Copies of this chain bind each other. A is one copy, B any other.
Amino acid sequence: MIEEEGCTLIFLGVDGGATKTVAIIADENGRLYGVGYSGSSSHHFVGYESAKMNVLKAVETALRYAGMSWGDIDGVCYGLSSVGDTPMDTEIVRSFVSEITPIDFILVNDVVNAYYATCLGEPGVVVVAGTGSIAYGRSGIYEVRVGGWGQLIGDEGSAVYIARRALQEATKACDGRGEYTILIDRIPRALGFKSLEEVTFNLMTMKISLIELARLAPVVAEAAVNGDRVAIDILKESGRELALLAIACLRRLRLEHGIVGASGGVFKSGALVWDTFKSIVKASYPHVEFTDPIYGWQPAAGAIVLAAYKHGIRIDRRVLTRLFEAIKVEEAKL
């Protein structure tokens, strides 16, 4: 699908995390040449070899799709989860990326992709709320990362957090310790169990994982749409927790003006999360500017923006929008 030949620079951008890996090939004008998709590239979840294989598969698929080889690529950026979590994590990821990449590459955490895909390198902050939650912001040479402490204790506002809060409120309601909620019935049904007892038994015996619970987030969103008070409160709480992530970044960067972006499936859970998020951030930082939340494969565009940036090329919002549109078309084909 090479649209035209020219002297524009071609970039490869990869976005990978706990659930999926996406590679895209695009030029500085926002033209998309190829995409590749595969499974988890988190060594914590699938181990070193599978993480490496999934990145390789996404990259090779994108190259084949574009009818290109590594020699056609002017710059490459990988935004992969766990990079920067600990020095050891960074080294593990750097090691497998080196093994499959014959040219120089940029390696960052996937939250940095989300930042470049929403803030375009301008002073600002992005909050990512998918399975987990984390925020990242930049202002010139300063950068901050907030949240992302893991599903067991934190990741406030994330899909797993929403799911756990929903289970907590449903069990409380079941006991007579909390307000009635339709989640008592909807949670087991959504997970294919007969009762809440069955759900918690399977959780305790590790037959289902906390990560798998993330699929309850849309169930909570649906219950909220149906007017369930408990579900509404959980989503508002989630919006508030995500706002705290943004506010902490803005404060630490001393940014009164700036862009506030959002990325991840939780922001798709209806207007409740997003509206609560915006109003709480606005209350502390009235002059910031919000960009529309991005989802799915869109954060991979951030890797293109960053790769271009390192070549001295600034991708603007018009070009980014063009790239987003092309990505959406490809994603819909899957």
Contacts and interface: CB of A to CB of B under 8 A. Distances in A.
A201 B86 contact: yes
Interface in A222-250: 244-245, 247-248
Interface stretch (A150-158, A266-274, A300-308): A150-158
A156 B154 CA distance: 16
Contacts of A244: 172, 177-178
A176 B248 contact: yes
B210 A152 contact: yes
B153 A164 contact: yes
Interface in A179-205: 196-197, 200-201, 203-205
A205 B150 CA distance: 10
Contact of A154 (B171, B176, B247): B171
Given A176-B248, A248-B177, A203 B150 contact: yes
A282 to B, nearest CB: 17
Chain A interface residue bracket vs B: 35 or more
Given A153-B171, A153-B200, A251 B44 contact: no
A322 interface: no
A16 interface: no
A171 B149 contact: yes
B86 A176 contact: no
Nearest to A166: B153
- If over half of A's interface residues share one DSSP class (helix, strand or loop), that class is named, otherwise mixed; here it is helix
A253 to B, nearest CB: 11
Interface string A206-223: 000010000000000000
A177 B85 contact: no
Contact of A167 (B146, B153, B164): B153
B146 A177 contact: yes
A147 interface: yes
Interface in A97-148: 146-147
A4 interface: no
A93 to B, nearest CB: 15
A5 interface: no
Contacts of A147: 175, 177
A253 B168 CA distance: 23
A257 interface: no
Contacts of A86: 197, 201
B146 A176 contact: yes
Contacts of A196: 149
A287 interface: no
A70 to B, nearest CB: 33
15 contacts: A85-B201, A149-B171, A150-B203, A152-B203, A153-B164, A153-B168, A153-B200, A154-B168, A154-B200, A156-B168, A156-B172, A175-B248, A176-B248, A177-B244, A177-B245
Considering the complex of A and B, which 4 residue pairs feature the smallest CB-CB distances, nearest first?
A: A176-B248, A150-B204, A146-B175, A149-B171
